[in-house]
């Protein structure tokens, strides 16, 4: 009985660790895509493509299904390239959280 309880605790901690790893990797890839799209001579769509490529190589292509990029303007009039990633939560076994994670990467545009 104790070993079953320890197994559930271990799986819960492992699930949390896996989810945090995937989230941090997605944030890193989205930020790199935003920096790539913010370069002089580049477009936000190229940044989204870069983020998709990095996510596909780092995790899996199923996490790169919904990547979008846009240019926002701050209150100070500065252009910012924003890369949004929506990916499914990684689940171990039949039990676990459902839904999706939404992460964002931002970078100041170099064309200013």
Q: Domain limits of the chain?
A: 1-108
Is the separation of the CB atoms in 55 and 67 below 8 Å?
yes
For 8-27, write each residue's pLDDT tens digit.
899 889 888 988 999 999 99
Strand partners, 88: 100
Give pTM, 2 decimals: 0.87
- Interatomic CA distance for residues 94 and 23, integer angstroms: 20
For 32-72, write each residue's pLDDT tens digit.
999 999 999 999 999 999 999 999 999 989 898 899 999 99
Which of these, 23, 98, 106, lies nearest to 71 by C-alpha position? 106
Which of these, 94, 92, 85, lies nearest to 58 by C-alpha position? 85
Is the separation of the CB atoms in 67 and 33 below 8 Å?
yes
Is the separation of the CB atoms in 61 and 77 below 8 Å?
no
């Amino acid at each position: 009985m104790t070993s079953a309880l320890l197994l559930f605790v271990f799986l819960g901690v492992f699930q949390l660790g896996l989810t945090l790893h995937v989230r941090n990797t997605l944030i890193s890839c989205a930020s790199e895509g935003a920096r790539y799209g913010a370069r002089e001579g580049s477009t936000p769509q190229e940044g989204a493509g870069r983020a998709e490529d990095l996510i596909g190589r780092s995790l899996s292509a199923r996490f790169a299904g919904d990547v979008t990029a846009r240019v926002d303007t701050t209150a100070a009039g500065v252009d910012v390239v924003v890369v949004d990633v929506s990916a499914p939560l990684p689940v171990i076994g039949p039990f676990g959280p459902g839904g999706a994670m939404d992460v964002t990467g931002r970078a100041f545009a170099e064309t200013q």
